[in-house]
Structure 1
């Protein structure tokens, strides 16, 4: 009788176990990293635009780009992305060139597409 009980316990424990592959245990978790003004866009503006787009603007710059609201407004209403994307030397920003690297332009475009997040 003891042998039957041990055999039943052994059978139950064997068939009640499940097999998880390593892939099941290391499921990929996607973490969305959105582009934000504070972490991504402000450094671009500070390093490339503030020399003219300060407050007050100098060297003929039409607006300041010193705050989140300034830059957001420039993207939404003043054609900032078109200006930084242009290859026309008379329209090039930063003024007098060279044109911003494409990866920085793409970051500004992504920021707009993701909703112009501040933080």
Structure 2
């Protein structure tokens, strides 16, 4: 092997080790909630920060429905459409939010909230 190829191989190895499809936000651990997961304590802030830009009342940017009230969010959670949209990968048709997939720990929180019965308070 030529001496010139060693630095190139090292550079390629470093580049390959640095490539990953995971974002740091997916790897961050979220604090475990104290007590049951509820809309008011855990879910509402996520909806407000990530969904209401489009899912306001009235909806904007071609969003098909609002998510401004507990009942509106609960309806989408109960019929499965909320989790279907959150689980899709960024760029996939119907993925929400369109700005980029939420961290997996946040999606897990929604799943647990739904499994626990979509409590409001």
Which ranges in structure 1 are unaligned for 5 or more consecutive residues? 1-31
Q: How does 1:27-46 map to 2 (within 5 A)?
A: 33-46=35-48
Root mean square deviation, CA, Å: 1.4
Instruction: Tell me, in whole angstroms, the C-alpha distance in 1 between the residues paired with 2:67 and 2:37.
Output: 18
Residues 18-70 of structure 1 show CA distances to partners (whole Å, capped at 9, x for unaligned) of: xxxxxxxxxxxxxx711000010000000000000000111011110001000
After TM superposition, the score normalised by the length of structure 1 is 0.69
After TM superposition, the score normalised by the length of structure 2 is 0.68
Q: Determine which structure has more spread, i.e. the larger CA radius of gyration.
A: 1
Aligned pairs, how many?
87
The match for 1:92 is 95
Which ranges in structure 2 are unaligned for 5 or more consecutive residues? 1-33
The match for 2:104 is 102
Runs of 4+ aligned residues of structure 1 deviating over 3 Å after TM superposition are none
